[in-house]
Amino acid sequence: MTFTVEQPRESCRCPACGSDDVLRRGENVRRFRTVPIGRKPAYLILAVPRVECRSCGAVRQVRIGFADPRVSYTRSFKRYALELSRHMTIQDVAMHLGISWDVIKEIQKEDLQRRFGKVKLKHLRQIAIDEISTAKGHRYLTVVLDLESGAVVHVGEGKGGDALKDFWIRLRRSRAKVEAVATDMSLAYIDAVLTYLPGATLVFDRFHVIKLYNDKLSELRRDLYHELKDTMQKKVLKGVRWLLLKRPENLDPSHKEPQRLREALRLNEPLATAYYLKEELNEIWEQDDQEAAEAMLLDWIAYAEVTGIRILHDFAKTLRFHACGILAHYDYPISTGPLEGTNNKIKTMKRQAYGFRDQEFLKLKILAIHETKYALVG
């Protein structure tokens, strides 16, 4: 459906200075996509007057009331596409409207840029930082989350210190009074927080500490496995690879998981020690107060050091070095846990085949992710 509309001569003004003292200098016939009528696509055709301004001398097309400059769709079409985008993938919206995927993406991108191009940081008090791998080829994004609102406030390319450089600069400029930061125990974050947020409390979250311990536990199992000569024992040890990483309450009795694990631990004393120490390690976060937790942590370290097991010795060293940030949990019970949810949403979003070769678009989508409901599939 095509509607031809006209711009009344007397409403023509200079787009540069707004003067109505203008002379007609021809016209450009343009076609604009607008909201469909029923299932029929609809277009507006307008001969856009060109004017010469007698005040400022500019010669240009007049401004159009119903469309943004340089695009061939109306504002109401844009609003309609954005409304549909809240419930459908870009592909779906493009199909539904019979328009190219790129147009819908550009409409979304412009809208996101307007709303999230400059995220305000001044209100930040408690944040979590973590990296997310976005592709199999080990591409990383570093994401900063506002723990109070749940919104992503920064997406940096790569991982480690460099990914956050402009965030720190913006944060400093915003004069935000950040009190606490949850991260893993990596040196890059520790350095950055000490440098840029010297007043903030660093909190190493439980999830990352346990994950690191699980890595060590796997390493120990592997070492023990390679040392063993007895094939029976080897088989037993091999079969418990995943069971060691599970919480005991999650072991599945119908698959004899508790028995299999018990058998392996009985055969292997170092592994048993390391496994039981994992449970003890978890207790550090379950105490009534910081004092009790500190006693627990020091006990853990002392015990690990005398086991004579190398990985436990190393881990004790790690804990000693990071004790302050681990115990800070009792001042600020925060973690990077909420980022896990964001991470999952990003993965779901990426599976929906958005145009993520455009990194800028991907970042904007992540900044807006707290307002999306990614129950959509396919």
Query: Which of 53, 145, 271, 367 forms a contact with Zn ion (CB under 5 A)?
Result: 53
Q: Closer to Zn ion by CB, 16 or 35: give it.
A: 16
Distance between CA 39 and CA 60 in Å, rounded?
36
Written as six digits, the tokens of 226 are 């390679």
Please give the single-letter amino acid code of residue 164.
Answer: L
56 in contact with Zn ion (CB under 5 A): yes
CB 88 within 8 A of CB 96: yes
Least distance in angstroms from the C-beta of 15 to Zn ion: 8
**168 φ, ψ (degrees, to nearest 5):** -60, -40
Q: Closer to Zn ion by CB, 50 or 350: give it.
A: 50
Binding mask 322-361 for Zn ion (x = CB under 5 A): ----------------------------------------
Q: Three-state DSSP class for 42?
A: strand
Q: Closer to Zn ion by CB, 22 or 129: give it.
A: 22
Number of chain positions touching Zn ion (CB under 5 A)? 8
**362 φ, ψ (degrees, to nearest 5):** -60, -45
CB 134 within 8 A of CB 111: no
59 in contact with Zn ion (CB under 5 A): no
59 DSSP β-pair partners: 52
Q: Closer to Zn ion by CB, 56 or 302: give it.
A: 56
Distance between CA 247 and CA 102 in Å, rounded?
47
Query: Which of 14, 90, 181, 309 forms a contact with Zn ion (CB under 5 A)?
Result: 14
Query: Which of 5, 17, 295, 353 forms a contact with Zn ion (CB under 5 A)?
Result: 17
Query: Which of 16, 84, 267, 368 forms a contact with Zn ion (CB under 5 A)?
Result: 16
Beta strands, E only, the chain: 2-5, 22-37, 40-53, 59-61, 126-135, 139-146, 152-157, 180-183, 201-204
12 in contact with Zn ion (CB under 5 A): no
Least distance in angstroms from the C-beta of 21 to Zn ion: 8
- Give rounded-to-5 percent helix, strand, coil for the chain: 50, 20, 30
Taking CB under 5 A as the binding criterion, the range among 54-62, 144-152, 171-179, 220-228 that sits at the site for Zn ion is: 54-62
Least distance in angstroms from the C-beta of 17 to Zn ion: 3
Distance between CA 56 and CA 43 in Å, rounded?
34
CB count within 10 Å of CB 110 equals 16
Taking CB under 5 A as the binding criterion, the range among 53-61, 65-73, 109-117, 248-256 that sits at the site for Zn ion is: 53-61
Q: For 172-177, which contacts have Cβ atoms below 8 Å and span 24 or more sequence positions?
A: 172/196, 174/120, 174/121, 174/122, 174/124, 175/122, 176/121, 176/122, 176/123, 176/124, 176/125, 177/125
Q: Closer to Zn ion by CB, 63 or 96: give it.
A: 63
Least distance in angstroms from the C-beta of 26 to Zn ion: 17
Least distance in angstroms from the C-beta of 9 to Zn ion: 17
CB 49 within 8 A of CB 63: no
Least distance in angstroms from the C-beta of 64 to Zn ion: 17
Query: Which of 4, 11, 28, 55 forms a contact with Zn ion (CB under 5 A)?
Result: 55
Please give the single-letter amino acid code of residue 72.
Answer: S
Instruction: Report CA 234 to chain centroid distance, whole Å.
Output: 41
Written as six digits, the tokens of 33 are 């996509």
Q: Closer to Zn ion by CB, 1 or 17: give it.
A: 17
Q: Closer to Zn ion by CB, 20 or 83: give it.
A: 20
Taking CB under 5 A as the binding criterion, the range among 7-15, 84-92, 213-221, 353-361 that sits at the site for Zn ion is: 7-15
Q: Closer to Zn ion by CB, 54 or 351: give it.
A: 54
Q: Closer to Zn ion by CB, 55 or 149: give it.
A: 55
Taking CB under 5 A as the binding criterion, the range among 15-23, 154-162, 253-261, 312-320 that sits at the site for Zn ion is: 15-23
Query: Which of 19, 61, 186, 287 forms a contact with Zn ion (CB under 5 A)?
Result: 19
Q: Which stretches of the chain bind Zn ion, using CB under 5 A?
A: 14, 16-17, 19, 53, 55-56, 58
